[in-house]
A and B are shown apart, each in its own frame.
Chain A
């Protein structure tokens, strides 16, 4: 089944530059229905208020980190299977394992490029 390119993607990062880069890469891949959040707390509100189909989130953020945000989502029955890609500079093995245990769908380590993001998106939402 073809992926809906109009799916709503929530991009979460406290660095505005990083959000802009991810959003631009997503646009290059054909996804332009994007919502932004600056930390996990704001992201959680966006998930509740907007109909989000996929989350691309950083790990280290003030107020609520990416892993805390992920755990909050997975604790809610409605978002148990919401696709969640962690995009982070946290490249330690224990971080990856912790993210998997928390229910992450895939994990991208920074710095990354459009090809890596495309590959992960394909794994999570299917071919496009």
Chain B
């Protein structure tokens, strides 16, 4: 404020002069006053900037402390990979179970065939109505067996969905690793992350596709409508 008033006074003094030429001393005084005014402003700006930077530094320190409490290195090195392994184990388990179910369906179908053959080869032949009735029942059982087979597509769909979750977890793992490195939270662990792991994480992105959730995907009838229009 002092500088501002000083400049104002100098300007008024210059405007009030009746002389044709203004003394150089007066111009110099005005220039110095203006210069001083701006310097003052710059100082104000600098102080403000330092203040902001100080706040930012405090914020970063707090965030860093919170992240350390959160143990991101343990999250990226242990918990997330463990979660991925658990999900992979689900895929393997359901795959094994599905294979056993399908093997059993195949066995049941083979048994049905054998029963049918035996039925037709019985001597003396059974009443044709009885044979037809048993054959109908066998056919029904085979249809049910086929439906079990069809239902086994769940393994493919859940497998793809779980794969999608695993890739998302890997992406989270990647981001946490970056955070560990950027913030220098536990440098020893950050340095110990081997290059193969980093490369492996990098190369997983192209398998992110998977089945859409119900509601995000078209039904077969909708697809048929599109095909009818385009094919």
Contact across chains for A114 and B102 when beta carbons are under 8 A apart:
no
Contact across chains for A60 and B220 when beta carbons are under 8 A apart:
no
Flag whether B2 is at the interface (Cβ < 8 A): no
Contact across chains for B218 and A17 when beta carbons are under 8 A apart:
no
Question: How distant is the Cα of A25 from the Cα of B153 in the complex, in angstroms?
Answer: 12
Contact across chains for B152 and A89 when beta carbons are under 8 A apart:
no
**Chain A, interface size: which category?**
20 to 34
Contact across chains for A92 and B155 when beta carbons are under 8 A apart:
no
Among B34-42, B118-126, B127-135, B206-214, the stretch that binds chain A is B206-214
Contact across chains for B211 and A15 when beta carbons are under 8 A apart:
no
Instruction: List the B side residues contacting A116 at CB < 8 Å.
Output: 220
Flag whether B149 is at the interface (Cβ < 8 A): yes
Flag whether A112 is at the interface (Cβ < 8 A): yes
Among A40-48, A49-57, A102-110, the stretch that binds chain B is A102-110
Flag whether B14 is at the interface (Cβ < 8 A): no
Contact across chains for B211 and A110 when beta carbons are under 8 A apart:
yes
Which A residues from 63 to 122 make CB contacts under 8 A with B? 89-93, 96-97, 100, 105-114, 116
Question: How distant is the Cα of A92 from the Cα of B98 in the complex, in angstroms?
Answer: 27
Flag whether B95 is at the interface (Cβ < 8 A): yes
Flag whether B160 is at the interface (Cβ < 8 A): yes
Choose among A20, A93, A113, A114 the residue that contacts B218 (Cβ–Cβ < 8 A).
Answer: A93
Contact across chains for A111 and B210 when beta carbons are under 8 A apart:
no
A15-B156, A18-B156, A20-B102 known; A109 vs B231 contact (CB < 8 Å) = no
Q: Which of A90, A97, A112 has the most CB of B within 10 A?
A: A90
A15-B159, A110-B157, A110-B211 known; A96 vs B227 contact (CB < 8 Å) = yes
Instruction: List the A side residues contacting B155 at CB < 8 Å.
Output: 15, 17-18
Flag whether B150 is at the interface (Cβ < 8 A): yes
Flag whether B1 is at the interface (Cβ < 8 A): no
Flag whether B192 is at the interface (Cβ < 8 A): no
State the interface size on chain B (CB cutoff 8 A): 33
Choose among B146, B207, B209, B217 the residue that contacts A91 (Cβ–Cβ < 8 A).
Answer: B217
Choose among B146, B156, B216 the residue that contacts A92 (Cβ–Cβ < 8 A).
Answer: B216
A111-B157, A114-B146 known; A92 vs B212 contact (CB < 8 Å) = yes
Instruction: List the A side residues contacting B218 at CB < 8 Å.
Output: 91-93, 96, 109
Instruction: List the B side residues contacting A107 at CB < 8 Å.
Output: 223, 227
Contact across chains for B156 and A113 when beta carbons are under 8 A apart:
no
Flag whether A28 is at the interface (Cβ < 8 A): yes
Flag whether B182 is at the interface (Cβ < 8 A): no
Flag whether A62 is at the interface (Cβ < 8 A): yes
Contact across chains for B153 and A109 when beta carbons are under 8 A apart:
no
Within the complex, the shortest CB–CB distance from B103 to chain A, in Å, comes to 10
Nearest-CB residue, chain B, relative to A13? B156
Flag whether B226 is at the interface (Cβ < 8 A): yes
23 A-B pairs (CB sep. < 8 Å): A13-B156, A15-B159, A17-B99, A17-B156, A18-B155, A24-B149, A25-B146, A60-B160, A89-B160, A89-B211, A89-B217, A91-B212, A93-B222, A93-B226, A96-B227, A100-B226, A106-B231, A109-B223, A111-B151, A111-B157, A114-B146, A114-B150, A116-B220
Q: Which A residues are closer than 8 A to B by beta carbons?
A: 13, 15, 17-18, 20-21, 24-25, 28, 60, 62, 89-93, 96-97, 100, 105-114, 116
